[in-house]
């Protein structure tokens, strides 16, 4: 495993669009849900790799607001998988000192799943190791819309002066308000798009689009991407002098 990178060089926050589960399964003549189960197992290896790579925050895209368009069988299977994953991994996450939080709109999710989500957040609330954020029924545009509604309500209630609203204000209303912006966003499976993921937060993130399908993505590959990130020059719009 790679040695920890200095915080000034390595990414503190890595976000991953875990893509390719369905294609991975199809290539093996198996149903798409078989690939999703394989992908869920891969999450553990990636989470375990984070401390040695100097990654303090890991955010993974598990289910988007657009994924409801998939077949009823696949959606139901995914919801069952999420419930099973939380139940199975809760104790291990706690033991590995991983703090878990969920982002996204919970209104459409079933009560049993949201109860498990709440329990896992409470169970790991005091953990001080890796911060794992799971985006579930999440969409960047939906998040901004919900944040704007909350902001507008505070204006209407007299808690916020419209003149004080700037680019530092809205992030306080986002689902990720307690997290730093991602430094590195990775998408697996060879697709080169961001699919409505962390739109506001990733304004200055570095991107890596890799061909590896998510069930084949390893901690070693994550390490190579982290090393590559450390060689980049990040200027945030400025010019090096």
Tell me how far the alpha carbon of residue 97 is from its chain's centroid. 18
Strand 99-103 and strand 57-64: the pairing is unpaired
Of 229, 162, 183, 230, nearest in space to 16 by CA: 183
d(CA 176, CA 193): 21
Catalytic: which of 19, 21, 131, 137?
Answer: 19
DSSP type of residue 18: -
CA 145 – CA 140 distance, rounded (Å):
9
Whether the Cβ atoms of residue 110 and residue 143 lie closer than 8 Å to each other: no
Give yes or no: 118 in active site: no
Catalytic residue among 2, 21, 52, 67: 67
131 is catalytic: no
- Residue numbers annotated as active site: 19, 67
């Amino acid at each position: 495993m790679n040695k920890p990178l200095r915080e000034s060089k390595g990414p503190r926050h890595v976000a991953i669009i875990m893509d390719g589960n369905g294609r991975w399964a199809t290539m093996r003549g198996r149903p798409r849900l078989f690939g999703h189960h394989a992908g869920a197992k891969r999450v553990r290896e990636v989470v375990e790799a984070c401390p040695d790579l100097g990654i303090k925050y890991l955010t993974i895209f598990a289910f988007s607001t657009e994924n409801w368009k998939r077949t009823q069988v696949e959606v139901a299977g995914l919801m069952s998988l999420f419930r099973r994953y939380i139940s199975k991994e809760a104790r291990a996450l706690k033991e590995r000192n991983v703090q878990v939080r969920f982002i996204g709109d919970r209104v459409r999710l079933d009560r049993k799943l949201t109860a498990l989500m709440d329990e896992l957040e409470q169970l790991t609330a005091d953990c001080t190791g890796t911060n794992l954020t799971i985006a579930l029924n999440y969409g960047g545009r939906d998040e901004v819309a919900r944040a704007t509604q909350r902001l507008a309500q505070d204006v209407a209630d007299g808690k916020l002066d419209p003149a004080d609203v700037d680019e530092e204000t809205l992030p306080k209303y986002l689902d990720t308000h307690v997290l730093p912006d991602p430094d590195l966003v990775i998408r697996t499976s060879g697709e080169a798009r961001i699919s409505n993921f962390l739109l506001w937060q990733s304004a200055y993130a570095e991107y890596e689009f890799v061909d590896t399908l998510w069930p084949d993505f390893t901690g070693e590959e994550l390490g190579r991407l982290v090393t590559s990130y450390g060689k980049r020059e990040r200027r945030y719009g400025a010019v090096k002098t």
